[in-house]
Amino acid sequence: MKTLKEINVKKTFIYIIGALAVIALYFGLVHLILMVANVSRSAPTTVYGLTSKRQFALVALAMGLISVIVGWRVFRRSISSSKKNGTIAAIVTGVIAVIGGVLNLTNANGGPGSGNGVLGSAQALVLGLTGIFFGGWAMVRSRTKNINS
């Protein structure tokens, strides 16, 4: 077992606070998107099961998650690598997630619980934009590294 001298308590605390801030920002943005799309009120009757719109939202959400994972990995690697395959993949999957999320939100006629997949669509929108951001930032970092070399 590690002693307190071996564990950097301050660094661990900062990581925990940072993770909580990112989670709060994520759910705040999802709620903001639901409010802007005017679908933030829950449905009067809840639809259970996997509807076709929920399936569409889940696919868009998966694309957004893939975009964030690929974008983050490429961003972390962009200092040492000049390959652009990952950045393009992150941006393309992020754009697909954003388009899917927006399409599903614009066609929704009810809020959470209505079977329209509005929560998944809003999350896909946030994750897709995040993946696009990471992919674009990695591309900029690799270009500036190539220019300075």
Rounded CA gap, 55 and 73, in Å? 27
pLDDT tens digits, residue range 81-131?
556 778 899 999 999 999 999 999 888 888 888 888 889 999 999 999 999
Buried-state track 106-133, b at ≥16 Cβ within 10 A, e below 16: eebebbbbbbbbbbbbbbbbbbbbbbbb
Position 149 scores a pLDDT of 57
Q: Is the pLDDT of residue 142 over 80?
A: no
pLDDT tens digits, residue range 11-26?
888 989 999 999 999 9
Give me the percent of the chain exceeding a pLDDT of 90: 40
Position 126 scores a pLDDT of 94
pLDDT tens digits, residue range 24-58?
999 899 889 888 888 878 777 788 888 888 999 99
| Model-wide pTM > 0.85 | no
Quote the Cα angle for 89-93-99, to 5°.
150
Specify whether the CB–CB gap between 74 and 137 falls below 8 A: no
Tokens, residue 21: 């801030």
Q: Is the pLDDT of residue 147 over 70?
A: no
